[in-house]
Amino acid sequence: MVLLLAVLLVALVLLKDALLRSFAEHQLRAQTGLDAKIERLQSRLWPAALTLENLKLYNTAEFGGSPLVDLPELHLECEPGALALRKLHFKLVRLRLSEINIVENPQGRTNITAFVRELQDVSSPTRRGLSVGFFDFAGIDVLNLSVGKIRYSNLNRPGKDMDVHVGLKNEILTGIKTLPELSDLILNILFRRGITITRQGERTSITVSPTHEAPAGQNRSQSSSNPSKPDKSAKK
């Protein structure tokens, strides 16, 4: 009996991360309405920390089923005292986001609008932040943010995708109290880099400066030239 319990305990220790990964995927589906895949999950009990590698959220069939977000790394360090009160207070969040795909369907709706609406449906309008599973969001002390690129595509115009290379690495944000505040901070960072994302009803539009916009498959230097202006270096 003792040997059996020991074997079960060892199995539980070895399988805890796999079980947590399945639970995390289930919670993401329940909270967002999107299919979620996590390649690897590592957990630490003390101090409480969780690292997700190669996390992808997939668009619904309405928006082509492609990945909405691709995160090579999401690292979370939690405040243990807050967890006991069913609150998520993060001492550190390291978010490495390689790609965000904004998709417009043939009816003019965008996946970002549908995604935000789904989050609003599962949250309580009376709360300052947002419920995450069985916990209430209670803030982030330090956020380390990296963003690779944003891709915009219209299902009415296949092959006409636009890539916006953000190139944000290790941007530090502190003292974040709510998820709407986090969203506003990220939008402000993108705005400073020449990228503006706005929502109007069911539509989401993205506006970029000429030095950031590039058709899919081209890099920034290929797209930044403006043929309407003469090259001064060519003048004699």
- Specify the pLDDT at position 133: 54
| Token pair belonging to 180 | 């709407």
Rounded Cα distance between 39 and 73, Å, is 10
- Specify the pLDDT at position 226: 38
pLDDT digits (tens, 9 = 90+) for 73-121: 999 999 888 877 888 899 999 999 999 998 988 888 888 877 777 665 5
- Specify the pLDDT at position 141: 95
**Percent of the chain beyond pLDDT 90?**
28
- Specify the pLDDT at position 223: 33
pLDDT at 224 over 90: no
pLDDT bucket at 227, cuts 50 / 70 / 90:
very low
Q: Average model confidence (pLDDT) for the chain?
A: 76
Looking at the chain, the number of H-run helices and the number of E-run strands are 5, 10
Query: Tokens 């996946």 correspond to what residue?
Result: 111
Greater model confidence, 135 or 61: 61
Provide mean pLDDT across the span 24-38.
88
All structural domains of the chain with their residue ranges: 17-220
Provide mean pLDDT across the span 172-192.
86
DSSP per-residue codes, 118-135: HHHHHS-TTSSS-EETTE
DSSP per-residue codes, 192-219: HTTEEEEEETTEEEEEE-TTTEEETT--
- Specify the pLDDT at position 9: 43
pLDDT at 138 over 60: yes
Indicate yes or no: pTM above 0.75.
Answer: no
- Specify the pLDDT at position 233: 43
- Specify the pLDDT at position 5: 38
pLDDT at 4 over 60: no
- Specify the pLDDT at position 152: 87
Quick one: CA dihedral 215, 219, 223, 224, positive or negative? positive
8 A C-beta contact, residue 206 and residue 193:
no
Is residue 92 helix, strand or coil? strand
